[in-house]
Amino acid sequence: MEWDNQTFNPDFILMGFFSYTPTHIFLFSLVLGIFTMALLANTLMVLLIYLDSRLHTPMYFLLSQLSLMDLMLICTTVPKMAHSFLSGRKSISVAGCEAQIFFYVSLFGAECFLLAVMAYDRYVAICYPLQYFNLMNWKLCGLMAASSWILGAFDGIVDVAATMSFSYCGSREIAQFFCDVPALLHLSCTDTSTFETLIFICCVVMLLLPLSLIIVSYTRVIITVIRMGSGEGRHKAFTTCTSHLIVVGMYYGAATFIYMRPTSNRSPTQDKMVSAFYTILTPMLNPLIYSLRNKDVAKAFSKVLGKR
């Protein structure tokens, strides 16, 4: 990375969310509470799926991967934000910024692809129930989950390499609570238009293509469910799919708002609020949505409590 007139202190400054007013202190405490809940809920979800043999199916394996990604995502941003607020030190090193960008972008991309895999899993389970374990065998399931991680990591490497190759010769203050690529590009004195076009193309690949697969899968699922003769089967299918669609709507809606808008239409305040929604709030809501609407998870939880 090139630094003009900033050789003495090349660190970035994360402006963050909060000041030290009573209202902001309360909001900070609320964020810490959400972080704690997300940490516990996602950890519990992963452990339940691992410990209960009834949950050893492709659907729950993919759900455990989603919980693991949410767990890593919220740990990428909130601890640093909390440390900056409590210590009053808002600086973040270049290496720390690179690490945040890599993990954040990698997990963001991996979740995009994983949600599409989860939609395909429900499509096969509902439309081809008798062939489910042949079409969605463990080898294929593991391969698709691993591919989600690998594709996400590849996108993270590309973003880190490109972002950190620019010159930063003006302000070092990032109008975010973590090192977000769009916010960082505003600080560059290099022409970033080519890279912004590349980001847009990546968003089309990572957002619109998986979303198209999700829409096609659930269109077929809805048609099949409507034709079901069993009311109980229809209710179970709708319950499972509704949980997934709620998560998809929250995640893709927020991500599209952040990364597919023109740079000229961006507002730092709006970006902070939406980023907080899908990096802090969504990781807490995902396990709650799946567990509260899923009898198998509730039974597994009751079973663990019963043993204790």
pLDDT for 71? 94
CA separation for the pair 205, 95 (Å, rounded): 28
Name the residue among 4, 8, 188 with its Cα closest to residue 91. 8
Strand runs (DSSP E) across the chain, as ranges? 2-3, 12-14, 91-92, 167-168, 173-174
CA separation for the pair 51, 47 (Å, rounded): 6
pLDDT for 181? 82
pLDDT for 270? 75
pLDDT for 2? 46
pLDDT for 244? 78
pLDDT for 209? 86
Helices 94-127 and 58-87 meet at what angle, rounded to 10?
Answer: 160
- 78, 284 contact by CB (below 8 A): no
- 203, 262 contact by CB (below 8 A): no
Per-residue pLDDT of the chain (308 residues; tens, 9 = 90+): 544 444 446 788 888 878 888 888 898 899 999 999 999 999 989 988 888 888 889 989 999 999 999 999 999 999 999 988 888 888 888 888 889 999 998 998 899 899 999 999 989 988 888 899 888 999 999 999 999 999 999 989 988 888 878 877 777 888 888 888 887 877 778 777 777 777 777 777 778 888 888 889 888 888 888 777 666 666 766 776 777 788 888 888 777 777 666 665 667 777 778 888 888 888 888 888 877 667 777 777 777 666 65
Which pTM does this prediction carry? 0.87
pLDDT for 3? 44
Neighbours of 283 (CB within 10 A): 29
CA separation for the pair 12, 208 (Å, rounded): 32
Neighbours of 166 (CB within 10 A): 18
pLDDT for 295? 75
Instruction: Give Dmax over CA atoms of the chain in angstroms.
Output: 72
Q: Alpha carbon 248 to chain centroid distance?
A: 10
Burial of 172 (0-12, 13-18, 19+ CB in 10 A): middle
CA separation for the pair 80, 92 (Å, rounded): 9
pLDDT for 113? 92
